Amino acid sequence: MKTTIKQLYRVLFAGIAILLCWSGAVSAASGDAQKAHRLYQDNCGSCHGADHGGYLAPALNAEALKGRSATALRTVIMVGSFDTLMPPFYGRLTDDDIRLLGEHIQKTPKLPNPQWRIEDMKASLKVYVKDESKLPAEPAYPIDSMDDLIGVAARGKYGRGNGSEAIFIDSKSHRQVGKVPTVTAAHIIDFNPVNPRWAYVKTDTAEIYKVDLYSMQAVRSIKTGFNGPGMGVSRDGRYIMAGSFVPHVAVILDADTLEPLKTFQLEGVDPDGNMVSSDSGMVIGTPFADIFAIALENAGQVWIVDLQEGFPVTKIKNVGRHLHDAFLTHGGRKLMVASYDDSIVAAIDLEQRKLIKKLPAGCVPHVGGGAAVVVDGRTLGFGTNFGTCDKTVVSVWDLDKMELVRQVPVSGGTESPAAHANAPYVAVDIISKDRRARTIQLIDKKTLEVAKTLDVGGHAYFPEYSADGRYLYVSAGYNGDEVVVYDSTSLKKVASIPMESPAGIFSRGRVKYMTRGLSPDAMQE
Amino acid sequence: MKLSTDALLIGIAVLLAGNVQAASPYAGKTKAAAVCAQCHGMRMPATEAPFPFLGGRDVQYLRLALRQYRDKTRLSPIMNNIAGSLSDRDIDDITAYYSGLKP
């Protein structure tokens, strides 16, 4: 009997020991998984997608990385990837963490679209300046006109942290007049068309900051989703609309308080008849009416939201396959929407609320902010293209007749055009990943031929003219760490403004001329 | 004949001079963009990066350090690899570029 009890104890102890070991192992494993998840969200998620589905950078999930060598993945994490935004994590993360991350991305499936409801947005609202009436009544720095301000999204090499800022420059003196830290990389900067003191900065991780340009500080912020660049401001400056890739939601905010007023589930029947949930493409306000237009990327629809009680939606279907960005024509009455997969730009009449024409574009059109300029009485629109098929062109359309005028051969893929009524050239950024990425090409407005190629250095992109059209600003990108300024007629370099990994450049003049290249008069037409 | 010999000598002298010309910060900038800037930046490393500053540092120090990394008399797995492919000329150009920057 004694032995039996002893044996029983022994069995019991052994059992407990096994249980302890087992739960220890389980918690170690789940601890690792949690740590890997956190590492991913803190270092990779803002570019590669919080859902592992990709965003600015490729998807990192079990499916996408199937068959990839673990060593090669670790090497890329360690040393970064040349001529991309991918920075080196050697010395920033430990070898063990890099190994853990490599394993994590190879075994994690693309996560389901996470929820981010209006309550979550409300809870994320942060107030940095409680009493806005105490803010200075005028800019705290010398500047002739607030339209001379140019905002630059300085991403910071790691897309987050102390290097990530929205930087503001006086485009007459080319001096930096302010910088606003954004925690994660700034992506889009919009300006309030009515009150020149407010700007809105949207980050890679879908926070929107309301920025006081007079004192150069953020006064409020709200998280509108997990990522997606879409943001627009209404013509009366009262509303902001923002759309996300993750989750498939758009929201209208009060531009003053940033409080969310209504959310929209982005889904619909695509041109091939499938009901799909959809990323948000461009979101745009127009001086033409109290509306927002939003492109549903995957559903191929453009929705028009009236800024009145209940925010009713008119849906325009079958616009194109995989819509992305867009620009307004003169008067802001028509919207030119890029459709990636069928290589067209679709013209939408915002008054009649219908698709009026599909115009040929190059392959994978990406119009950026677009450009439209009056040449010899015709209003010409310019469209850039990501893709590099057999020919790389910039498409030029007559925006009154809605027809293709010419496809101008350029040296590579392009993603953003800039024009100005007072500047002789339309600038496009060549983004093909070799020496060409250093360059900007300039198309003569009259001859519609490339007149000159500027070697900016780095990875040159996002050209933008100053509000008076005298200067051309270009980001030298992640490999250049400067914004370079040229005289827009002589094309001589006049200034360099150092900053970390500059990307999008946004002139406050845009609120005046609406689409880059149009004169302010075009808004009254 | 005398004239052409002179011309030949002058030509050779010019060629030789070409071979010993000073380090070029312009060539160095291009090389730095391709080899160094990913970590050390074109001017300075990223705010969030753990890599040392190169801009504005003493040219002799930079040159010595790069040669030691290349020749593996100073050990660092990453730097030995990266500097391993550099010629003396590359090192002179790159260090002329970085040392000439304002810190």
Q: Tell me, what's the ipTM?
A: 0.72
**Residue to test with chain B: of A74, A160, A478, most B Cβ within 10 A:** A478
Q: How does residue B6 score in pLDDT terms, banded at 50, 70 and 90?
A: low
Predicted pLDDT of residue A23? 46
In a domain, B96, yes or no: yes
Q: What CATH number belongs to A361-525?
A: 2.130.10.10
Confirm if A498 and A306 have CB atoms less than 8 A apart.
no
In a domain, B55, yes or no: yes
Predicted pLDDT of residue A26? 46
CA separation for the pair A402, A379 (Å, rounded): 10
Q: What CATH number belongs to A2-43+60-107?
A: 1.10.760.10
pLDDT digits (tens, 9 = 90+) for A393-410: 999 999 999 999 999 999
CA separation for the pair A151, A508 (Å, rounded): 8
Predicted pLDDT of residue A19? 46
Residue A22 has pLDDT above 50, yes or no: no
Cα separation values, A35 from A9, A42, A43, A59, A360, Å: 38, 10, 12, 20, 49
pLDDT digits (tens, 9 = 90+) for A318-346: 999 999 999 999 889 999 999 999 999 99
What tokens does B65 get? Answer: 């350090």
User: Is the Cα torsion angle A268, A269, A270, A276 positive or negative in sign?
Assistant: positive
Among B33, B39, B48, the residue with its CB nearest the CB of A163 is B48
Helix (H) / strand (E) element for A117: namely none
Residue A17 has pLDDT above 80, yes or no: no
DSSP string, A422-460: T-SEEEEEE--TTGGGGEEEEEETTT-SEEEEEE--SS-
pLDDT digits (tens, 9 = 90+) for A131-165: 999 999 999 999 999 999 999 999 999 999 998 99
CA separation for the pair A256, B31 (Å, rounded): 49
Predicted pLDDT of residue B9? 53
What tokens does A479 get? Answer: 């490999």
Count of A-B CB contacts under 8 Å: 58
Identify all chain B residues contacting A479, using CB atoms and an 8 Å cutoff.
33, 37, 42
DSSP string, chain B: -HHHHHHHHHHHHHHHHHHTPPP-HHHHHHHHHHHTHHHH-SSS--TT--PPP-TT--HHHHHHHHHHHHHTSS--HHHHHHHTT--HHHHHHHHHHHHHS--
* CA closest to B43 among chain A residues: A481
In DSSP terms, A428 is beta-bridged to A417, A441
In a domain, B85, yes or no: yes
**What CATH number is associated with residue B43?**
1.10.760.10
In a domain, B9, yes or no: no
CA separation for the pair A432, A222 (Å, rounded): 35
CA separation for the pair A349, A333 (Å, rounded): 6
Contact B33 A457 (CB under 8 A): yes
DSSP string, A468-483: TSSEEEEE-GGGT-EE
Domain carrying residue B96 = 24-100
The β-bridge relationship of strands A217-223 and A126-127 is antiparallel
Contact A163 B33 (CB under 8 A): no
At B28, give phi and psi (nearest 5°): -65, -35
The least confident of A223-237, A387-401, A419-433, B49-63 is A387-401
The Cβ-side half-sphere exposure at A139, using a 13 Å CA radius, reads 19
Contact B38 A87 (CB under 8 A): yes
Q: How does residue B17 score in pLDDT terms, banded at 50, 70 and 90?
A: very low
Average pLDDT over residues A42-66: 93
Among A92, A480, A498, the residue with its CB nearest the CB of B49 is A92
Domain count, chain B: 1
**Residue to test with chain A: of B47, B51, B81, B102, most A Cβ within 10 A:** B47
In a domain, B15, yes or no: no
* CA closest to A500 among chain B residues: B46
pLDDT digits (tens, 9 = 90+) for B38-61: 899 888 888 888 899 999 999 999
Looking at per-residue confidence, does A69 or A27 come out higher? A69
The Cβ-side half-sphere exposure at B75, using a 13 Å CA radius, reads 0
Confirm if A199 and A211 have CB atoms less than 8 A apart.
yes
Predicted pLDDT of residue A460? 92
Predicted pLDDT of residue B66? 97
Predicted pLDDT of residue A495? 97
The angle, 0 to 180 degrees and rounded to 10, between the axes of the packed helices B88-100 and B25-35 is 100
Residue A383 has pLDDT above 70, yes or no: yes
CATH 1.10.760.10 in chain A: give the residue spans.
2-43+60-107
